[in-house]
């Protein structure tokens, strides 16, 4: 079946730049993983809007005027997306519709740049990191509260990227600096909007990034790109990178916790989908995949099930523990102090839980 070409009339279109040219990221509320605009946009959109977007990228100048297509006229807006220092066009966005028709608000697109040493990954130069005004807006930060003109670069990973995505983003970026293949990479991660304010909240961000040479600093590369808010995580595209995975970070944490075992459970399917190495060392059933509560002593099972349910509902946190006897491989009972932390949540309810099991050295 042939693909359906996209008619973008009345919808904002966002392009970024790649080594091969440009790629399509957004049409209205639809996100795309850097597909070919020439192959996916319909003929009218290509003629009326795409050509103007390409011109905006080439010239760094905006267009706001009328374009004719067949017997019709269209009002067209096409704007370049320019790096904070004004030296590099990293994309473009625009829209077209019949003259006089109302158009939706333009997407807020924030640009950034970051100069780092090719060998060490450390910042290079006094202006190593720059944010534009829109990026401060996306993160909910007042630029006047930031001491350096470079933006909150030192706080970005440690404070502004949510904990759940921090490992992945850190490792992908480090791999990108090390490989330095000049390819365009697409990332998506959760941020803390309004960090330090009375009411911070979470937002999902999509980022397009590329590495460029910097003639003033031959020992460095300049990472440039732009970020925008999205409703849900978008596809990660990291050509040529082989980052250490976040899963290996978790394995390292498990290995350091010699005094306890870990088990990840799916409350909806009532299965255990991951256990740490210490699980079997403590005499528990190796490669266990069943309902964790089913291992509990009959006298402890009801209490343990309620503890799991309360943790999933957010009524208790990891500071609350339950003492539960679990069945071992030799059909005896080993007592554990079990604490539980949610793995994400939707409307306050967590489907997945991580459990920590510390032997009390009480057995039967």
Query: Per residue in 13-60, pLDDT tens?
Result: 999 998 889 999 999 999 999 999 999 999 999 999 999 999 999 999
How sure is the predictor about 122, in pLDDT bands with cuts at 50, 70 and 90? confident
For domain 248-363, the CATH superfamily is PAS domain (3.30.450.20)
- Position with higher pLDDT, 180 vs 298: 298
**Chain centre distance of CA 2:** 32
Tell me: the pLDDT tens digits for 224-271?
Answer: 999 999 999 999 888 887 655 666 667 777 777 889 999 999 898 888
Terminal CA-CA length for the chain? 64
Each domain of the chain, given as residue ranges in start order, spans 1-107, 108-244, 248-363
Contact 182/251 with Cβ under 8 angstroms? no
How sure is the predictor about 364, in pLDDT bands with cuts at 50, 70 and 90? low
How sure is the predictor about 1, in pLDDT bands with cuts at 50, 70 and 90? very low
Asked if residue 129 has pLDDT above 60, the reply is: yes
DSSP H or E segment with residue 252: helix 246-256
Tell me what pLDDT residue 362 has. 58
b/e map 261-298, b = 16+ CB within 10 Å = bbbbbbbeeeebebbbebbeebbbbeebeebbbebbbe
Tell me what pLDDT residue 153 has. 62
Distance CA 251, CA 27 (A): 39
Tell me what pLDDT residue 144 has. 82
Q: What's the pTM?
A: 0.73
With left for phi above 0 and alpha for psi between -120 and 50, is residue 276 left, alpha or beta? beta
Same fold, 1-107 and 108-244: yes
Q: Phi and psi (nearest 5°) for 173? A: -65, -45
What is the topology classification, in CATH, of domain 108-244? Answer: Beta-Lactamase (3.30.450)
Tell me: the pLDDT tens digits for 308-343?
Answer: 999 999 999 899 999 999 999 999 999 999 999 998
Tell me: the pLDDT tens digits for 177-223?
Answer: 877 778 899 999 999 999 888 899 999 999 999 999 888 999 999 99
Distance CA 161, CA 177 (A): 19
Tell me: the pLDDT tens digits for 64-90?
Answer: 999 999 999 999 999 999 999 999 999
Just give the CATH number of 1-107. Answer: 3.30.450
Tokens of 115: 């100069």
Contact 91/4 with Cβ under 8 angstroms? no
């Amino acid at each position: 079946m042939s693909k359906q070409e996209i008619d973008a009339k009345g919808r904002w279109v966002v392009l970024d730049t790649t080594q091969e040219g440009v790629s399509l990221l957004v049409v209205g509320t639809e996100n795309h993983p850097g597909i070919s605009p020439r192959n996916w946009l319909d003929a009218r959109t290509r003629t009326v809007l795409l050509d103007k977007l390409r011109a905006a990228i080439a010239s760094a100048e905006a267009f706001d005027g009328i374009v004719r297509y067949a017997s019709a006229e269209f009002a067209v807006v096409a704007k370049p997306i320019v790096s904070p220092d004004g030296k590099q066009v990293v994309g473009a966005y625009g829209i077209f519709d019949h003259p006089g028709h109302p158009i939706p608000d333009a997407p807020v697109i924030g640009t950034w740049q970051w100069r780092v040493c090719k060998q060490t990954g450390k910042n290079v130069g006094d202006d190593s990191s720059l944010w534009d005004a829109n990026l401060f807006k996306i993160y909910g930060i007042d630029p006047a509260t930031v001491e350096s003109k470079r933006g909150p670069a030192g706080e970005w990973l440690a404070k502004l990227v949510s904990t759940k995505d921090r490992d992945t983003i850190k490792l992908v970026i480090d791999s990108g600096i090390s490989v330095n293949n000049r390819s365009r990479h697409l990332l998506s991660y959760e941020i803390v909007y309004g960090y330090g304010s009375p009411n911070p909240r979470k937002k999902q961000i999509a980022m397009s990034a590329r590495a460029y040479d910097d003639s003033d600093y031959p020992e460095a590369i300049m990472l440039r790109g732009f970020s925008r808010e999205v409703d849900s995580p978008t596809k990660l595209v990291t050509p040529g990178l082989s980052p250490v995975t976040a899963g290996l970070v978790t394995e390292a944490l498990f290995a350091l916790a010699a005094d306890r075992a870990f088990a990840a459970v799916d409350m909806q399917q009532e299965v255990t989908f991951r256990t740490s190495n210490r699980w079997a060392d403590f005499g528990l059933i190796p490669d266990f995949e069943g309902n964790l509560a089913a291992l509990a002593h009959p006298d402890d099972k009801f209490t343990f099930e309620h503890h799991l349910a309360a943790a999933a509902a957010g009524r208790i946190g990891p500071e609350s523990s339950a003492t539960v006897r679990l069945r071992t491989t030799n059909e005896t009972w080993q007592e554990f102090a079990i604490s539980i932390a949610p793995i994400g949540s939707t409307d306050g309810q967590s489907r997945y839980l991580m459990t920590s099991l510390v032997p009390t050295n009480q057995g039967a």
